[in-house]
Amino acid sequence: MNHDPTHVREDDEAEFRDPVEALGEELLERRRRGEQVTTDEYARAHPELADQIRLQFPVMIALEKFKENTLSATADPYDIEIDTPQELGDYHIIREIGRGAMGVVYEAEQQSLQRRVAVKVFPRQTLREARKLERFSRESKTAARLHHNNIVPVFGVGHHAGLHYFVMQRIDGIGLDEIIEQAKAQPQRDVSADDTHAWRLGSGSTADSGSNRSVRRARWFSHREGHLPDVAAEPESKAVDPGLGLEITSSFRRAANIGVQVADAIHYAHSQGVLHRDIKPSNLMIDPNGTVWVTDFGLATALQQDPSVDRNDIAGTLRFMAPEQLGGKHDTRSDLYSLGVTLYELITLQPAFVAGSKAAVVDRILRGEFQKPRDVRPRIPRDLEAIVLKAMALQPEQRYANGRELADDLTRFIKGRPVRARRIGGLGRMVRWARRDPLAASLVGTLAIVIGTSFVLVSSKWREAVEERHRAENNLIVALESMDQILGRFTSSWMARPTDLEPGPDDPAPGELQLLVSDHNASLMEDAIRFYDRFAVDNAPSPRLQRDTARVHKRAGDIYQRLGKYGKAERAYVRCLQILDQQDSGDDTSLVLIKAKVLNQLGLVKHATSRFVEAEQQFLKARDVLIAQVHPDQSSCQAELARTFSNLGQSQWLMFHHEDAKRSHRKAVSILETLVDREPNHLSYQLALARAYRAYYPFASDRNSDERTHVKSAGIAILDALVLEHPQVPDYQCELAEMLTATIRRSRRSDDAQEQIAQLQRGIKIARDLSDAYPAIPRYKVTLADALKTMGDLVDRSDSDAAISHLNEAVAIYRSLTSNFPDVPAYHFLCAMALREHAQTLFRIERFGESKASAEQAVEDLEAYTRLRSGNRMAWNMLARLHDQVAEASMAMHEADAAEAAWGNARQIREKWNLQWGL
């Protein structure tokens, strides 16, 4: 075909759409919907265009087919064609008894044993890949090991003429999905009698008994997707005793009994290490004796199309899937959740999650948005509702821990004893509030899992919920508390705050849901926080509410600080202090403590942005607040005081107030030594003491080398112990790496030098592992870069190549930090310092050109720093020195003009800031 410019122009001036293209668009849309339409069909339907269609459509279809790696993505799951032979090995096929997404089920006779069995045959393409086939046979072997009264026994698997099949006991029963359908069809007849006869499906009936009360057409295995119109294909199913389903579902105790049996079966399977993954009514068969049979254990895994679950195309029936399953996770509690949804449908005769589209169903599941059972049918007993709601809790932690617990609670309900589900637990207040207000409940759930696109919606909903004027203050308090809890998960202790001593009282316990601190989460949070801010201004009628609001701001500040967003952190802390200042602290220790903490945090933010004088002011305020209060002797106040002195010392040191700094650090050490003696089990005091040692280390006496050695080894020993006892806390490891780096001293003695290198190598390893594991946390990156830079400094006389490679890496890390956080001055500063080291090392081995380039880059970074912090003399002094360095390198290369220019720059700076050489 032609494709020169003339034709392009012709195309662009064409007046009509190509008719074949229009048909092609239709073809593609139909195929994307899963219809199996072919080129041939179109060619025959449009003979006048047939030639073009036959040329173009195959290309379109090929493009569609190959654009994704999953070949089966567009295949219609129900359009399976299996040419099943009359014989499958030992099995003689009698008739088809069911058809579903996964395969076709036949009744068959096993000739060697002369018994009737059910054989499930899979479409060829399902198991085409060796990997899937292997998984299939492994899973079915596991399933064959399950022996339980409520699990359909699996006899084995086999393959014949390329077809794979699965042999099970033939169960004479009816699918629970069908029972529910039956009951739905007759909603008016409400039978409340506890008629045990109705429970039985006609004793002794077989599939073909012909009895009116029997199930004429028993379905062994049905795999219908809820809305697919396969009812028409099975007209006999109407012959099922119409009252039957109703009998079962209208008797809530019977429903509970079904639940007990399934929960038992699930519990047993879980204890054998088998997950079901696809619990839903159609996988539950009820036989004439009222026994429930769970089918297809493990099959869902084996046959899952793709491990990465596509939100729009999930194998199995969507509406029974647990929220975490939609994200690709599945554990024992997900099976329990699916059972909860099944029970919900059984007692309400309504699906829990309905919506116009799959995507909308997914959205509701993720938000846990459904009508409460009693809102659907008020006759449902409260306790049964509570059990179902607990089984269906959005967060796995809030569900029953295992099948046994669920079975037990259902049994309690059947026997009329109080159920556990209604007891109020740790999150009790929140849950109770949530029950009163499903809107807010879904909100809390969503906030806590931060999934998908719901966060913005959440904050606006939250707003609605709380803004309703008539709402009682109590509700607002709970709302704030839960918000605080949620934010608390961001800053929980194991992710650890960089500088806070105390884990919050409401930090989640280990094992509870944790949220990763990321820019993304933080930006999502902002909307909610903005609302709180306004809320605090508009409402704030009680001190309690105000304090809760303040706490939310502090949380937000902590998160921002951790993310290096110092501007936002500062605003949050300032806002928090404003609210706290309106409160009368009196002799309220906790208020004083919060205030001191926030002052310290604010000081640290200022410190981190090199505003040392302002930082010192905040720390001094914190000190005064703590000392002035009524019970200064309390441990928590002492700890905060120690932290204040440490912070103070840091700022003083950077302002060159050496004696003040030394005094402050020593005070912190002595307060903390007392505290650790007093409460040896308090981990945070130990951590604080280790930090205090590290800070004091440079001030420890050089002449009396004992003091130095003592400080160093005591600090490392504390952290070693913490890391050993709490391997799951990354910040302890980070502290250790920082300690190992901070206590390196260059030594002329070679044995000592080896020891120093080993110590630092350990620090680098720890820091590297951390920053690999938590790439979003800048602190770990800084720790690593600092350790690398220190190593470069340490070895540059003995092995300059190694030194340069360490420094290269350090520079690269700082470089990525400066580009990701261009408004954080410290990163520019640190980057410049690493570059300076780099330049010096290169100079020493006479690679002058590279040395000059590094020095020039260092100048650039330090200039970036001084643009942000123009009042910092120390930085200007350093900048002048960097210019000197550029000049020296230029001289070494005989570039006198460049050198002169650099010296000129240095001179200018020194004159302007009245700096002397050397300082």
CB of 494 to other proteins, least distance (A): 23
Of 69 and 192, nearer to other proteins (C-beta) is 69
Dist. CA 534–CA 643, nearest whole Å: 32
CB of 74 to other proteins, least distance (A): 11
Residue 741 binds other proteins (CB under 8 A): no
Backbone angles phi, psi at 617, to 5 degrees: -60, -45
Residue 58 binds other proteins (CB under 8 A): yes
From the list 213, 721, 815, 823, which residue makes contact with other proteins (rule: CB under 8 A)? Answer: 815
CB of 337 to other proteins, least distance (A): 21
Residue 914 binds other proteins (CB under 8 A): no
CB of 446 to other proteins, least distance (A): 11
Of 14 and 724, nearer to other proteins (C-beta) is 14
| CB distance 281 to 342 below 8 Å | yes
Burial class (CB in 10 A: 0-12, 13-18, 19+), 706: exposed
CB of 654 to other proteins, least distance (A): 28
Of 62 and 627, nearer to other proteins (C-beta) is 62
Nearest alpha-carbon partner for 687 in 756, 740, 739: 739
Q: CA-CA distances (angstroms) from residue 590 to 320, 584, 585, 631, 672?
A: 47, 12, 9, 11, 20
Q: CA-CA distances (angstroms) from residue 256 to 320, 511, 519, 544, 866?
A: 18, 30, 46, 44, 71
From the list 23, 27, 53, 60, which residue makes contact with other proteins (rule: CB under 8 A)? Answer: 60
CB of 301 to other proteins, least distance (A): 24
Q: How far is CA 894 from the centre of its chain?
A: 58
**# binding residues, other proteins (CB under 8 A):** 66
From the list 816, 863, 891, 893, which residue makes contact with other proteins (rule: CB under 8 A)? Answer: 816
Of 70 and 542, nearer to other proteins (C-beta) is 70
Of 55 and 113, nearer to other proteins (C-beta) is 55
Dist. CA 727–CA 904, nearest whole Å: 54
Of 71 and 185, nearer to other proteins (C-beta) is 71
Dist. CA 359–CA 311, nearest whole Å: 7
What sign results for the dihedral spanned by CA atoms 303, 306, 308, 309?
A: negative
Dist. CA 579–CA 598, nearest whole Å: 12
From the list 23, 39, 150, 342, which residue makes contact with other proteins (rule: CB under 8 A)? Answer: 39
Residues near 657 by beta carbon (within 8 Å), at least 6 away in sequence: none
Alpha helices in 88-226 (DSSP H): 130-144, 176-185, 196-199
From the list 656, 819, 844, 907, which residue makes contact with other proteins (rule: CB under 8 A)? Answer: 819
| CB distance 170 to 230 below 8 Å | no
Count of alpha carbons within 13 angstroms of residue 631, beta-carbon side? 13
| CB distance 255 to 349 below 8 Å | no
Joined together, the tokens standing for residue 109 give: 């006779």
* Site string (338-377) toward other proteins, x via CB under 8 A: -----------------xxx-xx-xx--------------
Residues near 421 by beta carbon (within 8 Å), at least 6 away in sequence: 383, 386, 387, 389, 390, 409
CB of 57 to other proteins, least distance (A): 8
CB of 144 to other proteins, least distance (A): 31
Q: CA-CA distances (angstroms) from residue 4 to 17, 176, 360, 484, 544?
A: 20, 65, 47, 65, 76
> What is the four-CA torsion angle of 623, 628, 633, 636, rounded to 10 degrees?
-50
Residue 820 binds other proteins (CB under 8 A): yes
Q: Which residue stretch of 377-385, 571-579, 607-615, 815-823 sits at the interface with other proteins (rule: CB under 8 A)? A: 815-823
* Site string (775-814) toward other proteins, x via CB under 8 A: -------------------------------------x--
Dist. CA 184–CA 53, nearest whole Å: 48
CB of 813 to other proteins, least distance (A): 12
Residue 728 binds other proteins (CB under 8 A): no
Return the H-helix or E-strand segment holding 156: strand 154-160
Residue 62 binds other proteins (CB under 8 A): yes
Q: Which residue stretch of 52-60, 436-444, 487-495, 729-737 sits at the interface with other proteins (rule: CB under 8 A)? A: 52-60
| CB distance 373 to 385 below 8 Å | yes
Token pair 């290490």: residue: 273
DSSP label of 227: T
Dist. CA 703–CA 696, nearest whole Å: 15
Q: Is 120 assigned to a binding site?
A: yes
Subset of residues 3 to 32 that bind other proteins, contact rule: CB under 8 A: 3, 5, 7-8, 10-18, 20-22, 25, 28-29, 32
Of 38 and 674, nearer to other proteins (C-beta) is 38
- For the chain, the first-to-last Cα distance in angstroms comes to 77
CB of 41 to other proteins, least distance (A): 11
Subset of residues 830 to 859 that bind other proteins, contact rule: CB under 8 A: none
Of 61 and 723, nearer to other proteins (C-beta) is 61
Q: Which residue stretch of 276-284, 309-317, 560-568, 692-700 sits at the interface with other proteins (rule: CB under 8 A)? A: 309-317
| CB distance 150 to 261 below 8 Å | yes
Dist. CA 796–CA 807, nearest whole Å: 10
| CB distance 396 to 377 below 8 Å | no
Residue 307 binds other proteins (CB under 8 A): no
Token pair 């074949």: residue: 20
Three-class DSSP category at 211: coil
From the list 63, 228, 717, 773, which residue makes contact with other proteins (rule: CB under 8 A)? Answer: 63
Dist. CA 804–CA 135, nearest whole Å: 50
From the list 44, 45, 51, 59, which residue makes contact with other proteins (rule: CB under 8 A)? Answer: 59
For β-strands 163-169 and 91-99, DSSP reports them as unpaired
Nearest alpha-carbon partner for 448 in 499, 492, 389, 388: 492
CB of 481 to other proteins, least distance (A): 25
Dist. CA 735–CA 716, nearest whole Å: 9
CB of 47 to other proteins, least distance (A): 19
Joined together, the tokens standing for residue 543 give: 């001190």
Of 30 and 147, nearer to other proteins (C-beta) is 30
CB of 368 to other proteins, least distance (A): 15
For β-strands 163-169 and 115-121, DSSP reports them as antiparallel
Of 312 and 761, nearer to other proteins (C-beta) is 312
From the list 311, 412, 435, 682, which residue makes contact with other proteins (rule: CB under 8 A)? Answer: 311
Of 145 and 520, nearer to other proteins (C-beta) is 520
Residue 520 binds other proteins (CB under 8 A): yes
Residue 192 binds other proteins (CB under 8 A): no
Subset of residues 447 to 506 that bind other proteins, contact rule: CB under 8 A: 452-457, 460-461
Burial class (CB in 10 A: 0-12, 13-18, 19+), 355: middle
Of 53 and 198, nearer to other proteins (C-beta) is 53
Q: Which residue stretch of 137-145, 172-180, 216-224, 307-315 sits at the interface with other proteins (rule: CB under 8 A)? A: 307-315
Residue 56 binds other proteins (CB under 8 A): yes
Residue 524 binds other proteins (CB under 8 A): yes
Residue 69 binds other proteins (CB under 8 A): yes
Residue 74 binds other proteins (CB under 8 A): no
Task: Give the annotated binding-site residues.
Answer: 120
Q: Which residues bind other proteins (CB under 8 A)?
A: 1-3, 5, 7-8, 10-18, 20-22, 25, 28-29, 32-33, 38-39, 55-56, 58-69, 71, 310-312, 355-357, 359-360, 362-363, 452-457, 460-461, 520, 523-524, 812, 815-816, 819-820
Task: Give the annotated binding-site residues for ATP.
Answer: 120
